[in-house]
Amino acid sequence: MMPSLTASGLSRLLGGWNVGAAAAYRELADVVRLLVLDGRVALDTALPSERALSEALGVSRTTVTAAYALLRDQGFLTGGQGSRSRTRIPPLTPAGTTVFTGPARKDPALTAPGLAAPEGLIDLAYASLPASGEVVHRAFAAALTELPALLPGFGYDAIGLLPLREAVAARYSAAGAPTTADQILVTSGAQHALNIVLRALAGRQERVLVEHPSYPNALDAIRAAGCRPVPVAFSGGRPGWDMDSMQAALQQQRPKLAYVVPDFHNPTGQLMPDFQRRRLARAAAAAGTVLVVDETLRELNLDSIWTTPVAAFSPAVVTIGSLSKSHWGGLRTGWIRATPDLVQRFAAARTSLDLGGPLMEQLAAAHLVRALDEPLPARIAALRDSRAALLELLAGHLPEWEAAYPAGGLSAWCRLPAPISTALTVIAPDFGIRLAAGPRFGVGGAFERYLRVPFTLPPETLEAAVLALRSAQDRLDAAPQLRRTLRNAPAVAIA
Ligand SMILES: Cc1ncc(COP(=O)(O)O)c(C=O)c1O
């Protein structure tokens, strides 16, 4: 039987939503949209009739009719006119994101194929860059000429092609962590690498220490592996590692793994200094915890601050790297650096996920790792400009937000004046932007007072985005009840 929701059931889920505002219908639509997006109202649920809901909420029938009409326009409801309206999610774009309608801002930079934003929306949910340019094309052209030499083989290679492993190893050696090719396993990106490490080293119910906030897809991978994330807050909730707390958590909880992003941490952009790296590596070794260091953002060193790879402080460290940020996410090429024994274990563990990476990509990646320094100066210069523009725009238009200065990476982590992150995210498409709410970066609903704002877009687009953020916050400021409801809507199952 299709699920349905009674008027009193929806009224309960709406968490005390009430009349009052001039555009009450829009607020009602926003809250219902949040409930659907959050999964608190299941898809294909029949909503109560307009009459029943207006009675349960004590609002005019016109308010409910207008709210349902808006949700229908936005693609969140089907049916009506005689039949019960049913919840749905708007169709997906080719890039896999939801299409919202509304007064969207047109930006030609966002209409390029493959970009994740629904057409017309400025995408602040992703912190990624386009390809590094002609160097990628050149690498694939060279790979094509090298491919025939591999064709007589079977093509399955669970560890990865030797020239790529040698190139990655040489880069670590040059950075101060002497490395041989048998210490490198090639993966399809850093996310894949983490999944392999989890599969090989962490059993269900085992603890994995994480920074809090942390990279959402890593948190998802840890949960999906059946492990329990142990969050350790940054210093007093401010960006920057609180090494006393990290050490205490390692000693007391003895997690199986610790997953950290010391190089331009996502989302805060912070850089861990060498003395903390050394201390962390020692503390993990003393606790018997495998330290998994994600270096995906290491090359985006905007202030040219030199640090040593954590692997240089302990041979037991497992390091994850990727070409996604230095060259392009579309390459889907990364690696794990570990002891030769562990590399063999990872190679065995990966076979339940895949049987090796595609060889063309690996041939091209070997050229790209050797050419890593070629695209970086232009990429870093553009990111510096965008970072400066974003911080200035935020200070000018949203002075009540506190943006921690990111030493590198792709985003700034902003403290909001109130716990409005989810509410902002829900109404953001109405203002032409797409956001990732702060709680995505935390465990157990934390970070409702934070928002990650990437500086991956050019300054002109960032200006439009910050003005949109200002307008969205103004709307919430003018409707405190909406803000409360969006925050408090309880996570209750539906009847
Ligand atoms: C810290 C971190 N790790 C991993 C990834 C995913 O990298 P990949 O595209 O190589 O899977 C990202 C992407 O944003 C990231 O920021």
The phi-psi region of residue 119 (left if phi > 0; otherwise alpha if psi is between -120 and 50; otherwise beta) is beta
pLDDT per residue over 194-211, tens digit each? 999 999 999 999 999 999
Q: Which residues of 220-241 are buried (b: 16+ CB within 10 A; e: fewer)?
A: ebbeebebbbbbbbbeeeebbb
Please say whether the beta carbons of 413 and 85 come within 8 A. Answer: no
Position 104 confidence tier, pLDDT thresholds 50, 70, 90: very low
In a domain, 491, yes or no: no
Same domain, 335 and 244: yes
Same domain, 428 and 403: yes
Q: What pLDDT does 486 receive?
A: 65
User: Where do the H-state alpha helices sit in 58-161?
Assistant: 61-73, 134-146
Give the CA dihedral 376, 381, 387, 393, nearest 10 degrees. -150
The phi-psi region of residue 190 (left if phi > 0; otherwise alpha if psi is between -120 and 50; otherwise beta) is alpha
Position 31 confidence tier, pLDDT thresholds 50, 70, 90: confident
Question: Tokens 């290491």 identify what position?
Answer: 298
Domain final residue, candidates 339, 370, 401: 370
In testing the pocket of ligand 1, which one of 195, 299, 324, 455 has its CB within 8 Å of the most ligand atoms? Answer: 324
* Ligand 1 pocket, residue 329 CB under 6 Å: yes
Same domain, 83 and 158: no
At 183, the amino acid letter reads: Q
Please say whether the beta carbons of 428 and 435 come within 8 A. Answer: yes
User: Which protein residue's CA is at the shortest distance from atom 15 of ligand 1?
Assistant: 296
Q: Which residue has the higher pLDDT, 131 or 107?
A: 131
Q: What pLDDT does 262 receive?
A: 97
Q: What pLDDT does 2 receive?
A: 66
Percent of the chain, pLDDT > 70?
A: 87
Same domain, 112 and 229: no
Q: CA quadruple 477, 478, 482, 488: dihedral positive or negative?
A: positive
**DSSP for residue 87:** E
Same domain, 208 and 258: yes
Same domain, 308 and 170: yes
Q: What pLDDT does 392 receive?
A: 98
Q: By C-alpha distance, which of 290, 338, 272 is closest to 311?
A: 338
Same domain, 116 and 242: no
Domains identified in the chain, total number: 3
Please say whether the beta carbons of 64 and 50 come within 8 A. Answer: yes
In testing the pocket of ligand 1, which one of 191, 196, 440 has its CB within 8 Å of the most ligand atoms? Answer: 191
- Min mean pLDDT across 56-60, 202-206, 412-416, 439-443 is at 56-60
Q: What pLDDT does 473 receive?
A: 94
Same domain, 335 and 200: yes
pLDDT per residue over 238-247, tens digit each? 678 999 999 9
CATH number at 225 reads 3.40.640.10
* Ligand 1 pocket, residue 334 CB under 6 Å: yes
d(CA 258, CA 231): 10
C-alpha to C-alpha distances, 294 to 261, 334, 336, 458, nearest whole angstrom:
5, 11, 9, 27
At 186, the amino acid letter reads: V
State both tokens at 313: 């402080």
| Mean pLDDT value across residues 9-38 | 73
Tell me, yes or no, if the pTM score tops 0.85.
no
In a domain, 222, yes or no: yes
d(CA 29, CA 148): 58
At 429, the amino acid letter reads: P
pLDDT per residue over 326-374, tens digit each? 999 999 999 999 999 999 999 999 999 999 999 999 999 999 999 988 8
**DSSP for residue 440:** G
User: Which protein residue's CA is at the shortest distance from atom 3 of ligand 1?
Assistant: 296
* Ligand 1 pocket, residue 190 CB under 6 Å: yes
Question: Tokens 């609180």 identify what position?
Answer: 242
Question: Tokens 């929701």 identify what position?
Answer: 5
Q: By C-alpha distance, which of 294, 284, 230 is closest to 262?
A: 294
pLDDT per residue over 247-260, tens digit each? 999 999 999 999 99
Residue 330 burial by Cβ neighbours in a 10 Å radius (0-12, 13-18, 19+):
middle
Question: Going edge to edge, which strands form the sheet with 411-415?
Answer: 402-403, 411-415, 450-454
In a domain, 485, yes or no: no
**Domain of 146, in residue numbers:** 134-370
Average pLDDT of the chain is 87
**DSSP for residue 105:** P
Please say whether the beta carbons of 489 and 31 come within 8 A. Answer: yes
State both tokens at 413: 């982590």
In a domain, 483, yes or no: no
Q: What φ, ψ does residue 246 adopt, rounded to 5°?
A: -60, -45
Q: What pLDDT does 468 receive?
A: 97
Distance 60 CA to ligand 1 centre (A): 48
In a domain, 280, yes or no: yes
Domain final residue, candidates 52, 87, 122: 87
In a domain, 96, yes or no: no
pLDDT per residue over 9-19, tens digit each? 888 777 656 55
d(CA 206, CA 101): 43
d(CA 360, CA 355): 15
Same domain, 140 and 178: yes
CATH number at 31 reads 1.10.10.10
Domain final residue, candidates 344, 370, 396: 370
Please say whether the beta carbons of 1 and 472 come within 8 A. Answer: no
The phi-psi region of residue 304 (left if phi > 0; otherwise alpha if psi is between -120 and 50; otherwise beta) is left
E-strand spans in 323-449?
334-337, 402-403, 411-415, 433-434
Same domain, 216 and 77: no
Same domain, 300 and 427: no
Q: By C-alpha distance, which of 119, 141, 218 is closest to 440?
A: 218
Q: By C-alpha distance, which of 313, 274, 289 is closest to 230?
A: 289
Same domain, 462 and 313: no
In a domain, 142, yes or no: yes
In a domain, 93, yes or no: no
Distance 106 CA to ligand 1 centre (A): 28
